[in-house]
Amino acid sequence: MTFRYDFAPTPFGDALAVFSDQGIVRFDLSEADDPTVPWLLENVARRLGAVPEPDPGAADDVTALLARYFEGEPVRFDDHVDLDWRLIDGFHRRALETICEIGWAETMSYGEVAVIAGHPGAARAVGTACRLTPFSIIVPVHRVVRSDGTIGPYGAHPERKRFLVDLERRAAAQTSPVAGIDE
């Protein structure tokens, strides 16, 4: 199995995109200002058991999807990009697969995701799955909120979660038909 990597621009800085022969295996919005720092690649290599090789242009398709997404288009990434789930399994994977089904500009509570994923009462485990996701933005964990509807954390960056939720809501509001007007 070969692994390769590239970077994709986001409003939060460049994200590390790692690919396997089966698809994207990691999309990482690094904590670092510069995602090329060796520790980030070392961490990914340790988890994969192999060192990814640089592959400029490998993230071009993801970059194009991200551009559409950040322009307000309701992109469902897993319809366009193959996900290689090797870095997460069990209930955490089921939770993330459930989260993929949350619609554009919609939210669901951690508890609701747990119920749909087959483990009522596992809301905290859903939170852990969101924190551990190897697919930031691509799997829309930002759409999972607290039971009272408040945003809650997004790694160490709740402002990113707010940005993503607000982006989707604004875009949805702009494209929604106005109630009470006949066409």
Prediction pTM value? 0.89
Residue 182 Ramachandran class (φ > 0 left, ψ -120 to 50 alpha, else beta)? beta
pLDDT of residue 51 exceeding 60: yes
d(CA 105, CA 173): 9
CATH of 90-175, one of 3.40.50.300, 1.10.10.10, 2.40.50.140, 3.40.50.720: 1.10.10.10
Residue 155: name the closest of 144, 166, 169, 167 by CA: 144
152 — pLDDT class (breaks 50, 70, 90): confident
Q: What percentage of the chain exceeds 70 in pLDDT?
A: 91
Give pLDDT, residue 94: 98
d(CA 171, CA 153): 22
CATH of 4-79, one of 3.30.70, 3.40.1710, 1.20.120, 3.30.160: 3.30.160
